[in-house]
Amino acid sequence: MPAMDALIQHLEEGRDLDDREVRVAAELLLESGGDSARKARLLEALSKKGETAAEIAGFVEAFLEHAVDPHAGLVDREGPTIDVCGTGGDKLNLFNVSTTSMFVVAAAGATVVKHGNRGITSKSGGADVLEELGVRLDLPAEGFRKCLEEAGVGFLFAPAYHPAFKAVVEVRKQLATKGVRTIFNLVGPLLNPAKPQCQLVGVFSREWCPVFAEILQRLGRESSWAVHGTTGDGRSVDELSLLGSTRICKSGSLEEIADEEVRPRDFGLRHAEVSDLEGGDAKLNAQILESILGAEDSGPKRDMVLLNAGAAIACAGLSDDIGHGIEIARRVIDDGSALDRLRALQAAAK
């Protein structure tokens, strides 16, 4: 495979890939039955060099050409489309913050097109908790669109929409056992086949905030926020954090990337400890989600959802700022609108 060998040499020499080379590399990686050893070497070389924003955006665009298109544009809804998700990898075992928040954001007037998977670094991923709540994960595209029409929120189960990724499953496993992070550990939140207008993505490392903001800008998001939170003792949180400060890098279709730092007290929210926000398996996390949306939980878990949903509402342009978004989030939980979105999704996604 001379093309693969040339790309590997290029990367091992520390040189960035241009747009054409990225496209060739993506096709070779997704080639069924390709040389696993060469694929692994290419991924490892790319990781060691360090992926640029342009390279990551190019890989995402190439991978999306192999994805199943849910044709979300066929759904006639007024609100902006948005995805709220995180890269994972913070290993704090928090409850499903973004999955809970999506119903609040939908109640605020956005159309939430959530793309996700089962838990990999946690006991319960977004897919696991939704399945526990009776939401069918293997809905075809028309079923997803029905969810958007009836609930204002739908879930795209990543394995169902990215069948070509089967070609790299074994390679990723091999590299994971060696402790090698690959581009596939980065691109999950970027691969939403519905291509939402807006996106709030939590990243596992502070340094990746401006990179993800640039990538999302390159992918054509009209508004995108990349966020990275911290705990009081300096650990990472791939959400806006009640545990410490949060870096937010914002980008739009034209503007420069804005970079700011926020703290819970900026919004009148109390500092929390990791133990206050821990979740468990899918059953426990489903109970937590319902207690928050049902306005039964008034503690730090609810505040964590208010903060993250408030930011997503602001990202979608449905509030003036995070503080205003938190007010809206609080209202739609208290008046039952957020729980109604969950019930509507459960009815539509059977």
Residues belonging to the binding site for Mg(2+) are 98, 238-239
**Tokens found for residue 242:** 């009640």
Strand ranges for 13-159 from DSSP E: 81-86, 111-116, 153-157
∠ CA(156), CA(117), CA(262), 5° rounding?
95
Known binding-site positions: 86, 89-90, 96-99, 114-122, 126, 172, 238-239
Known binding-site positions for anthranilate: 86, 117, 172
Known binding-site positions for 5-phospho-alpha-D-ribose 1-diphosphate: 86, 89-90, 96-99, 114-122, 126
The C-alpha atoms of residue 50 and residue 53 are separated, in whole angstroms, by 10
Long-range contacts from 346-350, C-beta under 8 angstroms, 24+ separation: 346/133, 346/134, 346/135, 347/150, 347/151, 348/143, 348/146, 348/147, 348/149, 348/150, 348/151, 349/134, 349/135, 349/136, 349/139, 349/143, 349/147, 349/151, 349/154, 349/155, 350/134, 350/136
The C-alpha atoms of residue 181 and residue 309 are separated, in whole angstroms, by 29
